Amino acid sequence: MTNSPKIAVCPGSYDPITNGHLDVITRASAIFDEVVVGIVNASVRKKAPLFSIEERMELIGGATEHLGNVRPLPFSALVVQFAREVGASTIVKGLRAISDFEYELEMNQLNRHQAPDIDTLYLMASPKYSFLSSSGVKELATFGGNIEEYVPAAVAPLLQERLTR
């Protein structure tokens, strides 16, 4: 009997990565042998990303470099296909509110139908990040708000440079 490493995928657009995302990724890294941060390269439910896939990979890589078992990878397929490609048996998602739950329940049912062997693990947002979203951070940055406590250090100046009016 072999002891295969337990690999999880944390999928998202990460445009940009927030401290809420980082909290979920960090907590997942304590549970799994390896965490692959799957960066959606072509989302069907969101508009074009502010940051390129290369920029998002670099920002996530920098924000997670202290975690020895985390690596960012782009993907453009179904998340369950991507999970299989990287050898993951679990998809990890963060939940902030009831609205997240409703969407994630639907996605879970579709994913389970496609890949019954891949589980989804939901981590509740830490209270200090339960309101935090990439779109909210982008809106704050657009109007010159202070975003430094909401995103990793390298993200704030880039975001403010691109969005401040």
Active site positions, annotated? 21, 47, 96, 134
φ/ψ region of 153 (left if φ > 0, alpha if ψ in -120 to 50, else beta) reads alpha
Give the sign of the dihedral formed by CA 156, CA 159, CA 162, CA 165: negative
d(CA 121, CA 83): 13
Task: List 40's β-bridge partners, or say none.
Answer: 75
Residue 151 CA: distances (Å) to CA of 1, 31, 44, 81: 43, 23, 24, 29
